[in-house]
Each structure stands twice: as structure tokens, then as C-alpha cells.
Amino acid sequence: MTTEPSLDLPPAQQARSRRTQQRILDAGTALLEEGGTEALTIAAVAARAGVSVGSVYRRFGGKDRLIAGLQHAMIDEFRADIIRRFAPLRTDPATMVASAVAGLTETFEAHERLMRVFITAGTIDPAVAQVGSAASIDAGHVFKRFLEPVVAMIDAPEPELRLDVAFRLVYAACMNRVLHGERFESERPLTWRQLTDELVNAVCLYLLGTSPH
């Protein structure tokens, strides 16, 4: 995300500039959550943020760059949330796997509305899709690094492949839930909490051959 140069501004102006930029980002996020990319216009963002249209243009240059800025801001927050949630109370293998799976699903749930916008936008905008793919791969690296202590306990010819598939399984289930909702592929109701619990069980059995409970 591009940021406005501020090296030659006095501190008070720098602070005001940062607050203005954050108001623009907050306004853009709210508009995306409410109506998707069609609701995001420079004029609407300016009105919601309480700034001039020119102020939005000076910082982002247009709608495409504003969307890119909003996507990068969401990705930064998503990554920080994953890392924060990957914090098991114990370090036994099953608890670590459960923490990783739950951390991923809970982060998806927390960012569900905005993620749906960018997933949908990525189906028609290659730039949005490319950024989303890079962020997804990075999330996978975080997931796998967290579970590195478990690799030696995975009884498989290629334990790293098992770990990659485990991430793909959880990620795909979350993406499908975000995009299509609870009952797209089944009539059976399944809350985020239930989905998390079942994914924890499935991944523990797949990686460790045992249930976490």
C-alpha cells in the first residue's frame, strides 16, 4: 500500500495526515462491507470519511489504488490476527495442531465480510487475485512454521506434504464458507464453531493419527 511521503512535514501535520488516511481506509472498508466494490466510489469514501474528494485522490490516485490499499490493509490485519491466535496453552502436538486450525478458522470468521468482497473481486480482477494469492501463500507459511515442531511426529513418507495438504484443507473450507455461506453444499446447519471443531479433529487424525480429545 502506498503511503503519503511525510519526511518534510512537521510532526503535527504528519499526525493529521495519518489520521486522515486512516479515516479514508476506515470509510472505504465500511463501504466495501456494505455494498462491495460497486459501492466504493471516491465521492462516497470522501463523504463517509469527512474529507474532500481531492484528499482521497492525493493519497490513493483513484479507485483501483484505493482498493489495493484497502486489500493490503486487510491482509496486514489478517496476518497479525493469525499470529496472535496461534498461541496454545500447552505445547503437546495435538494442542498445537488445534491452535493452528482454530487460529485460521477464527481469523477467517473475524474478517468474513471484507474477505468475501476481495474473493469475489479476485474472480474478475487479476491484480486483486494476485495479491490475494500471495497473502494466502504467506498465511500457509505462517501455519507451517508454527507447526514445525510437529513435523517429526507425522508418520508419513513426506510429512511436509501432509502439513501443506492440512493447510489447504482448512483454508479451502474457510474460503468456501466465506464465499457461499453455511448451507451451499449441504442442508445440514454447521456453525463456524462446529466447523472449527470438526476441522481440528480431521487435521489431528490426518497429521497425528489421534483425536485432540
Instruction: Provide the pLDDT for residue 213.
Output: 66
Whether the CB-CB separation of 108 and 169 falls below 8 Å is answered with: no
Cα–Cα distances in angstroms (integers) from residue 211 to residues 98, 154, 162, 168, 199, in the given order: 10, 14, 16, 19, 11
* Nearest of 114, 118, 170 to residue 144 by alpha carbon: 170
Percent of the chain whose pLDDT exceeds 90: 70
Answer yes or no: are the C-beta atoms of 182 and 174 closer than 8 Å: no
- Domain 71-208 in CATH 1.10.357.10? The answer is yes
How far are the Cα atoms of 48, 80, 115, 167 from residue 83, in angstroms, in the given order?
A: 31, 5, 18, 15
More confident position, 132 or 212: 132
Digit-coded pLDDT (tens) for 83-138: 888 876 668 899 999 999 999 999 999 999 999 999 998 999 999 999 999 999 99
Q: Where are the domains of the chain?
A: 11-61, 71-208
pTM exceeding the 0.85 threshold for the entire prediction: no
Amino acid 13: pLDDT:
62
What is the separation of C-alpha 114 from the centre of its chain, rounded to a whole number of angstroms?
9
Q: 11-61: which CATH topology?
A: Arc Repressor Mutant, subunit A (1.10.10)
C-alpha span between 29 and 72 (Å, rounded): 12
CB atoms within 10 A of CB 23: 17
